[in-house]
Structures are given as structure tokens and as C-alpha cells.
Chains A and B, each alone.
Chain A
Amino acid sequence: MIWDNYNNESIPWLRGPVQDSIFLSTRIRFARNLTGYNFKSRIYPSDLEQLYKTIKKALENTSFYSLGKLYQTSRLLSFEKKYLIERHLISSDLSRAGKYSGAFIYESDSALSILINEEDHLRISQVFSSTQLEDCYIKLSKLYQELAGKLDYAYSSRWGYLTACPTNCGTGMRVSFLCHLPGIVSADEFEGFQKGLTAMDLSLRGFYGEGSQAYGNIFQIYSNKSLGLSEKALLKSTGQGLEFIREKEFEAREKLKSKSFFQLEDAVWRTVGIIKYARAISSTDALRFLSTLWLGYSLGILNSSGHKSFPPDLFILVQPVHLQLLLEEPLSAREMDVFRAQFIRKQFRDETWYREQFD
């Protein structure tokens, strides 16, 4: 089974050495298509297999192929696909894609995923914890260079790398951040914040992508300009975007603190009580509680014994498929809620730096 290849008790690339009180992770991805094949919507069925094999062969000849694993989507069980989606390693688009689509995945201190025959022939992305934008770019560029030498990409001098969607042409590069914005949400400053993002060519969507809800106040914020600026220029402008997000969220948190500290303190401690005593917790409630606790730690309402960080992978570990993996028997939804309550309680009791509050 696919999860045997991964650590399901913590996600190494989210619990990385660098942590932050707002940013869970930073992702960069390149979209590419090969010359000689139509794009996804118009490709000849007979070409799909050939295309898949060409990309597979190029991957097999890279130095990083032995580190990860290539999965053909059609050979994965739906449970396995859900697992990869929960972990943010594949998209739900890929999980629905046809026989000759796949994903090459490699997790270490960062996560690499290369999607084959999703919206574009190739989507190459790298995720690092917190805000390691520069490191993420350097690592991804290295892997990319190696692969690019083996494949022939569709390119024009006017439009750059040619992609299926007009929003991706040019560099084909997109930067995105997963960030925790409880301050902006509760201080009711969302509208102004979104206008600010738009002005910086950034957009926002929910935790699990387009159309999904921002459970636990977690959002994906991503760049939407890829034409007319180089990779380095995009890196610079998204770096500025990152600072803007941080500034706005800190401002909102400070405002909450000075205007309604008592209510905030009360909400945090109530949540501690729930985590300590609740006997069943649904997954949406879990994300809500985790968000409140994280805010409590980052504002110093809860004491983290010298550790400033909070394990952001909990937002993924409390998802149904990830929880199920820790058990022998399949659970009903109700039993799952009971197990989730136990799991979260244990997480907070076992981590020494939480002990003060959760003993």
C-alpha cells in the first residue's frame, strides 16, 4: 500500500527545521508541455501512452528517480488517491485523470511531486515548510534542469512555455503559500486584505484548493502572473507578497489582542478544555480547534515552554484517511470522531512543551 512508503505520524516536510506562526509551507511549481503532442483536451488517445512512457523514461534517467516512486494513477485505489490529496501531493484533477496519468513523489525535508498528464503534460512542484522560498526555488531548479535536458518542451518567444490554460504561459511558474490567517478572518478585514492581494497579483483559495473551504482559517495564496516577468522577478514579487501577508496578519492579531483580549483568552482556554475532555471530534471541528490553539500559542496565551512553533502537520494528520492508517480495522464515521478526539489529546499530552496545559 502506498502509505507504507511514508511517515504517517508526522509529515517531515511540514515539521521542518524552519517554522513560522503563519506560514505552513511554500510551494513552487512549473507547468510544461512536450512538443509533438496535443494538450490534454485534444490529445489523441493513442498518443497518451507514448507520452506517459516518454516522460517516465526521462524520469528514470535522473539522479533523483531512485529516491522517490512513480505511481500510475489508474493503479491506485481510491483510498490511496485520497491519501495523496490529503497530503497535498496530488491534485483532485489528477486523481480523476485517465489511465496514462501519474505522479512521481519524493518526500524528505521537502516534498517533490511531478504530475504527468494532469492539466498539462508535466507539473513539477516542490514544497518546503514555512517560508523557505529561496531554498525551494534553488532545489526545484536543480531537479528541473536535470529533467529538462531530457525532454523537449513547447515554447514560443512571444508566450514563453505554452500551457493548456492561458493563466500559466510564460515561465509556467507559480508560487503558493499555505498560511494560517485567524487574525484577518476574525478581525473582519478580509475584504481589504483580498484587495491588497489582488494589487500584488496574488489570489486566494481554500485549504484543499479551488472551491474548497478555508477550514481552520488555512488558505492557499498563489501568484497569478506568469507572463512578462522572469522566474527571479516572480520570486522577488512573491517574496514581497509574503511580507505583506505577514504584516496584515500580525496587524490583525495585534488589533484583536488590544480590542478583545479577554474574549480571545476565553476562546483559547475553552478550546483547551474541549481538547482535554471531548470524547468525539469531527474533522471540521478539529481544524477549527487546532487553529484556535495555534493562535493561542503564537499570542503567548498558552505557554509553549520556549518552543515558538506549533506542529502544522496536525491539520493534515487529523484528516480521515490519515487517521484510518493508524488503525487495524476500518472505522465508521462516528467511531472515527471518537478516535480523532483520542489522537489529538495524545498529541498534545505527549509533546513535552504542551504538557503544562494538557496534563
Chain B
Amino acid sequence: MDNAGNSKKERVLCQKCHKNPAQITVIQVIGGQKTELKLCEKCAQKAGYEDQLRQFPQNEEGMISELLSKLNEEVEKEQNLFCPNCGLTFLEFKSALKFGCANCYEAFEKKIVPMLSKIHHATWHVRRKPGGEQSSLTLKELENKLEQAVKDERFEEAAQLRDLIKEQKNDLG
């Protein structure tokens, strides 16, 4: 395994085998006490921390270049984004904070979710129904949206969707 990234720094040895350099830090809370455990790759795998290992690229340089290329990709995507109906670019929208037409909402949907969530603390429209608030989507549609939101880690959106689903189930029941 490649330890080039770690070799420049002081080496910390695995707290289990005390042989290999430590790769990940596992934080455990036992009986209200927080403990940190530094492990090497092998011991971590044995202890079932494979997920955490995957999140940390083995090599710092690799990690940085990967981040940079991801960032560039995002910026480029943003620069090229525009509404096909009115021609407003996403950058123009970002500076004036005014949409050019009704279609802009769809064209910029992915990008505006965080902004609208910040303004309204919600990202789904609801209407008044007897006994509660309701979305105009069906239960099934809402459930699919919820699944996607959780998958994409859009948690604030997921929370609103969960409430809407609860409302609709109450209505049905």
C-alpha cells in the first residue's frame, strides 16, 4: 500500500496491531465517554470499518486533484446552464435573483433547491385541504421523491416530504 502521503508527517501506528501506520480514526462513544481509536487498514477491515476506509482516499495528492476536477466540473456546468425558453443564464439569475420566465424554475431546478430552502424552509408547495396541508402530488410520487432526496442527502427537503407524506396518510386513514 502507498504511504507516500503519510511518510512526510509523523507516523502514527495502529493502536491495535502497533505495527502498521494508522489510516483511519474511529470515534466511539461508550457509556457517554468519547474515545478515539486509530487503526491501520487491515485492522479497520477486520473490525468492520470498510465504509470509512472507502471515504478516505489513500493518498492526499490524489484526493486534492479529485476534488479540484469535481469543482471545475461544477463551475463549468453552472456557467453553461441556461433556460431554453427565455435564454436567461444561471449566472444572470444568480446576480439579479429574478427568474426570466416560468420555465426557469424547471431549468434551474437542481441549483435553486438550496436557495429556496433557505428562503422558505421548504422546497415543496402545499395547498390547504380539509384537515391539513397537502401537496398536489400523489402519495406514491411523494414517496419516490423522498427516497431520492435521502439518497442525495438533501435532508431538509426530505424532512418536508416526510411531513407531507404523513399528512396524506392521515387524510386517507
Contacts and interface: CB of A to CB of B under 8 A. Distances in A.
Contact of A166 (B85, B116, B135): B116
B123 A42 contact: no
Contacts of A224: 119
Interface in A138-171: 154, 156-160, 162-167, 169-171
B110 to A, nearest CB: 12
A229 B100 contact: no
Contacts of B123: 158, 227-228
B112 A41 contact: no
Contacts of B120: 170, 225-228
Nearest to B112: A166
A118 to B, nearest CB: 12
A232 B119 CA distance: 19
Contact of B86 (A42, A226, A233): A42
A169 B133 contact: no
A38 interface: yes
Interface in B79-125: 85-88, 96-102, 105-106, 109, 112, 115-116, 119-125
Interface string A30-43: 00010100111110
Contacts, number: 98
8 nearest CB pairs, A to B: A228-B122, A160-B125, A42-B100, A230-B128, A154-B102, A227-B120, A42-B86, A38-B101
A166 B112 CA distance: 9
A42 B87 contact: yes
B154 to A, nearest CB: 13
Interface string B123-138: 1111110000101110
B125 A167 contact: no
B1 to A, nearest CB: 47
Interface of B: 85-88, 96-102, 105-106, 109, 112, 115-116, 119-128, 133, 135-137, 160
Nearest to B120: A227
A109 interface: no
A157 B100 contact: no
29 contacts: A33-B102, A38-B86, A38-B101, A39-B99, A40-B98, A42-B87, A42-B100, A157-B135, A157-B136, A158-B123, A158-B124, A159-B105, A162-B99, A162-B102, A162-B105, A165-B97, A166-B112, A166-B115, A169-B125, A170-B122, A224-B119, A225-B119, A227-B116, A227-B119, A228-B122, A228-B124, A232-B128, A233-B128, A233-B133
A229 B163 CA distance: 12
B87 A170 contact: no
Interface residues of A, number: 34
A265 interface: no
Contacts of B122: 170, 225, 227-229
Contacts of A42: 86-88, 100-101
Interface in A27-76: 33, 35, 38-42
A41 B137 CA distance: 31
Contacts of B98: 39-41, 119, 164-165
Nearest to A160: B125
Interface string A165-194: 111011100000000000000000000000
Contacts of B124: 158, 227-228
A231 interface: yes
A313 B109 CA distance: 45
Given A39-B101, A157-B135, A225-B120, 12 more contacts: A33-B102, A38-B101, A40-B98, A156-B105, A158-B124, A158-B125, A159-B116, A227-B116, A227-B119, A228-B160, A229-B122, A233-B126
A165 B112 CA distance: 12
Contacts of B88: 41-42
Contact of B119 (A39, A119, A158, A167): A167
